[in-house]
């Protein structure tokens, strides 16, 4: 568990991410018609036919008062971007000039350069690892988190839960003491409840969709917000 916090900075606000779990609402469009019921707005640019004014549209979204997290996910890790190339790096660098944070894969060739640029501009970087087939061992996941923390400001681990023992591994990962925030996500429809549970155990972020789901077992951001508020109220009454 981490008590550290990272600031998601916009032109007018700075949202602390760390000890208090935050809900990330994922968008697959730059012109959403849905309520923006989330603490942070994730723009999945890899899932959008990218208009020339994509950055201006992201800035408009951020002007709502909610930080924008820019993600351009590689196909190898569940996204639609086909190659880890200079064009993707340029998108991240342009985004960091205006937006609060970026999410880049730990195993990406451009990971370190993106994270360095985020640090230079005092922006947040989520360094992510995905396994859509299984949950690796606790030892493997600890090494992944340590490597991600060396690169950026938040380590994000998202793995497929097939058995109860997989969920136990992810709980153990959250209970470890970390110097930087950690986000842990368990994928799989039967395990969607862990998106609330893991947030109460120390996952700094939990993800829900705003317009349409982007991962197995994902619920809406609005539902996550409701359940987290209810969980917090219940914990306050029992303490």
Catalytic positions are: 130, 156
Q: How many CA atoms does the CB half-sphere of 14 hold within 13 Å?
A: 6
Q: How do 14-17 and 22-27 pair as beta strands?
A: unpaired
Instruction: Find, among 202, 84, 221, 96, the residue nearest to 145 by Cα.
Output: 202
C-alpha R_g of the chain? 17
Q: Is 68 helix (H, G, I), strand (E, B) or coil?
A: strand
Q: Are the CB atoms for 87 and 74 separated by under 8 Å? A: no
Instruction: Find, among 194, 21, 42, 184, the residue nearest to 103 by Cα.
Output: 42
Residues 6+ apart with CB under 8 A from 61: 27, 30, 32, 36, 41, 43, 68
Q: Are the CB atoms for 159 and 140 separated by under 8 Å? A: no
Rounded CA separation 161/135 (Å) = 6
Rounded CA separation 152/37 (Å) = 27
CA 70 to chain CA centroid, Å, is 10
């Amino acid at each position: 568990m981490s008590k550290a916090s990272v600031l998601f900075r916009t032109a007018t606000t700075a949202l602390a991410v760390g000890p208090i779990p935050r809900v990330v609402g994922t968008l697959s469009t730059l012109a959403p018609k849905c309520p923006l019921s989330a603490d942070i707005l994730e723009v999945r640019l890899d899932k959008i036919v990218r208009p020339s004014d994509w950055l201006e549209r992201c800035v408009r979204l951020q002007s709502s008062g909610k930080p924008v997290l820019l993600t351009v996910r590689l196909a190898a890790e569940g996204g639609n971007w086909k190659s880890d190339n200079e064009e993707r790096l340029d998108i991240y660098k342009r985004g960091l000039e205006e937006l609060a944070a970026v999410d880049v894969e730990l195993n990406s060739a451009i990971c370190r350069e993106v994270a360095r640029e985020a640090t230079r501009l005092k922006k947040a970087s989520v360094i992510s690892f995905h396994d859509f087939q299984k949950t690796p061992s606790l030892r493997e996941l600890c090494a992944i988190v340590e490597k991600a923390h060396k690169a950026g400001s938040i380590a994000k681990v998202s793995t497929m839960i097939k058995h109860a023992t997989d969920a136990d591994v992810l709980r153990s990962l959250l209970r470890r003491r970390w110097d930087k925030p950690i986000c842990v996500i368990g994928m799989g429809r039967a395990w969607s409840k862990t998106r609330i549970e893991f947030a109460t155990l120390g996952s700094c972020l939990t993800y829900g969709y705003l317009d349409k789901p982007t991962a197995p077992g994902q619920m809406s951001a609005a539902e996550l917000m409701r359940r987290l508020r209810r969980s917090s109220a219940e914990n306050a009454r029992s303490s």
